[in-house]
């Protein structure tokens, strides 16, 4: 079961402004990546469930986080149906992120009061997701739509909370563009947890990069 309520998860997303995204089949490497992000100040992790036996890795990571990383909120991304959402919630997922809008996922998550964030690409999809109880919309792929799309949505619907993933990088220019447009938070994958960091197991660099990214988010929110 979830360790955090959906209100607590949404608040953490708003407060920190950034969610690292990551998947690897090696559990030990994954623990080190998770700890580096945690030590860098991240308090959410979206585990992208794309590989074989991904649920087993997530299970072990979540147990590790509960025991060793107090306050770390574990969630799952790339969930494509209600059955998968239910599986990951049974394994401790505190939030569910999906590449598409599916009502079966909304129903499964709402029954357990677990935050879910569907991938949407039109105002109609966003409106329907909010009608189904969604608090935070995932804009995916973010690099296709860009900050101007967010500005366009926030015009008629200023209450809509948006989290872009894809096309987000830990630079002042990039993050300022997104937050100036009105996003609530951003998701960052390979631009933050790079192939080089993984290959070289450079966890110290990752920790510093996470600190830097969070500092930039804090900075651009004040500009």
Number of domains in the chain: 1
Task: Say if 1 falls within a structural domain.
Answer: no
Asked if residue 207 has pLDDT above 80, the reply is yes
Smallest CA-to-CA distance from 210 within 191, 196, 223 is with 191
CATH code at position 93 = 3.20.20.70
* Distance from chain centroid for Cα 83: 20
28 — phi, psi (to 5°)? -65, -45
Residue 222: the pLDDT is 82
Task: Say if 145 falls within a structural domain.
Answer: yes
Question: pLDDT tens digit string along 124-136?
Answer: 999 999 999 999 9
pLDDT band at 223 (very low <50, low <70, confident <90, very high): low
Task: Say if 81 falls within a structural domain.
Answer: yes
Domain that holds residue 30: 6-217
Task: Say if 223 falls within a structural domain.
Answer: no
Task: Say if 106 falls within a structural domain.
Answer: yes
Task: Say if 68 falls within a structural domain.
Answer: yes
């Amino acid at each position: 079961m979830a360790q955090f309520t959906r209100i607590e998860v949404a608040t953490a997303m708003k407060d920190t402004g950034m969610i690292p995204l990551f998947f690897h089949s090696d559990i030990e490497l994954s623990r080190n990546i998770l700890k580096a992000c945690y030590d860098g100040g991240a308090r959410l992790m979206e585990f992208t469930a794309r590989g074989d036996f991904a649920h087993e890795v997530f299970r072990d990571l979540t147990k590790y986080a509960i025991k060793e990383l107090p306050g770390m909120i574990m969630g799952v991304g790339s969930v494509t149906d209600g059955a998968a959402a239910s599986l990951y919630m049974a394994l401790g997922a505190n939030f569910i992120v999906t590449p598409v809008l599916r009502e079966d996922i909304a129903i499964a998550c709402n029954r357990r009061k677990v935050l879910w964030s569907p991938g949407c690409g039109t105002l109609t999809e966003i409106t329907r997701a909010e009608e189904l109880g969604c608090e935070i919309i995932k804009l995916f792929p973010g690099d296709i739509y860009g900050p101007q799309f967010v500005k366009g949505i926030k015009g008629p619907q200023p209450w809509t909370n948006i989290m872009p993933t894809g096309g987000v990088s830990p630079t002042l220019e990039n993050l300022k563009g997104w937050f100036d447009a009105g996003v609530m938070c951003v998701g960052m994958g390979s631009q933050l947890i790079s192939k080089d960091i993984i290959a070289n197991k450079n966890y110290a660099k990752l920790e510093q990069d996470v600190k830097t990214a969070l500092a930039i988010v804090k900075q651009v929110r004040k500009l």
